[in-house]
Amino acid sequence: MPRRETTITEYIIGEQRKFPGATGGFTALLNDIRLACKRIAYLVGKGALAGVHGPAGSRNSRGEEQHKLDVLANDIFLATNEWGGHLAGMASEELEAPYAIPAEYPRGRYLLAFDPLDGSSNIDVNVSVGSIFSVLACPEGVAGESELAFLQPGSRQVCAGYAIYGPTTMLVLTFGRGVHGFTLDREIGEFIHTHPDLRVPEEASEFAINTSNARFWEPAVKRYVDECLAGRSGPRDKDFNMRWVASLVAETHRILMRGGVFLYPRDEREQGRAGRLRLLYEANPIAMVIEQAGGRASTGYGPVLAVEPKSLHQRTGFVFGARREVERIEAYHRDHNERPYDAPLFAARGLFRAADGA
């Protein structure tokens, strides 16, 4: 008899059976999310053959240019999840306001927030992109199409995860009891449980940050990166490698597979600027995955999952990965609230001095 592989459906139903009295609605919701990801994986894989590359000629609610696949992936998420009867409302990066479940369908008790296509600026260069999702329970007496329903800290998520559309398509998810990875078997059209109990490696030797923003970084971030760059000759006494994919899902997946730390910090460009990534459908679900895998996810100043959201598209500074590295970065933030950092690598005689021969 051939070895029987565990499918994602079997895994989810197994989880459901651990909760006596569970209705199965949650399992059905997960099945719809998984189908949306398979549909998007198909389109991403077809690429130019399906005519889905290039700009859509429109902008999303925050004025960012939409790619054709941003719009298509958003439509797929809405259409695949609106009818099932398990959702009270949906919120998307691509929509200004929450999406109301159409009147012809029953409403359920869950809320789904998603980034339908993360890293879409990478589509035309054929680099990994993904989808990120977060499931919350809709509070009693609050309408699922109201912004208020979604303004819950990430610690209340009942499920979170992402799909990555890379050389293989994978779904990585957590119900709050560890993190599990599933690989899409295209021949049978199902996700197979290939990566049980993912853990962020404790030792980190890679960091990921967009260095073109270095001049805007806060002192804590300058110091951390300086020390990584100084390598064996600096205070860390070891060499670090640097990575930057500019796709949150791809960065997350790398850190889950082989460790490291990611920083998209708050910076000093605008007074009180909170960072770039979106709390509700980027940072919160990724933070739940990372913390469930034994890592740490922070704003730089404290846990992402504790942040009380004030608005649907709120941004946040985001630092995550190996627990001890993130704790070190948080300590630097506390430290440099009180005293300035003189940034030796950025100073007149430092590594990044102006090329004026000084």
Residue ranges that bind Mn ion, judged by CB under 5 A: 93, 115, 117-118
CB of 118 to Mn ion, least distance (A): 4
CB of 64 to Mn ion, least distance (A): 9
Q: Please, are residues 113 and 90 in contact by the beta-carbon 8 Å criterion? A: yes
CB of 120 to Mn ion, least distance (A): 5
> Of 115 and 145, which CB lies nearer to Mn ion in the complex structure?
115
> Of 283 and 345, which CB lies nearer to Mn ion in the complex structure?
283
> Of 88 and 117, which CB lies nearer to Mn ion in the complex structure?
117
With a CB cutoff of 8 Å and minimum separation 6, the contacts of 188 are: none
With a CB cutoff of 8 Å and minimum separation 6, the contacts of 240 are: 205, 206, 207, 228, 229, 231
Dist CA 13 CA 66 (whole Å) = 37
CB of 129 to Mn ion, least distance (A): 8
Give the containing element (helix H, strand E) for 58: strand 55-59
Judged on CB neighbours under 10 Å (0-12, 13-18, 19+), 343 is middle
CB-nearest residue to Mn ion = 118
> Of 79 and 331, which CB lies nearer to Mn ion in the complex structure?
79
> Of 32 and 70, which CB lies nearer to Mn ion in the complex structure?
70
- What amino acid is encoded at 158 in this protein? V
CB of 132 to Mn ion, least distance (A): 7
Which DSSP string do the residues of 270-318 spell out, in sequence order? STT---SEEIIIIIHHHHHHHHHTT-EEE-SSSBGGG----STT-EE-E
CB of 116 to Mn ion, least distance (A): 6
> Of 120 and 152, which CB lies nearer to Mn ion in the complex structure?
120
Tokens representing 253 are: 């997946």
> Of 160 and 228, which CB lies nearer to Mn ion in the complex structure?
160
Q: Please, are residues 214 and 224 in contact by the beta-carbon 8 Å criterion? A: no
Dist CA 246 CA 235 (whole Å) = 28
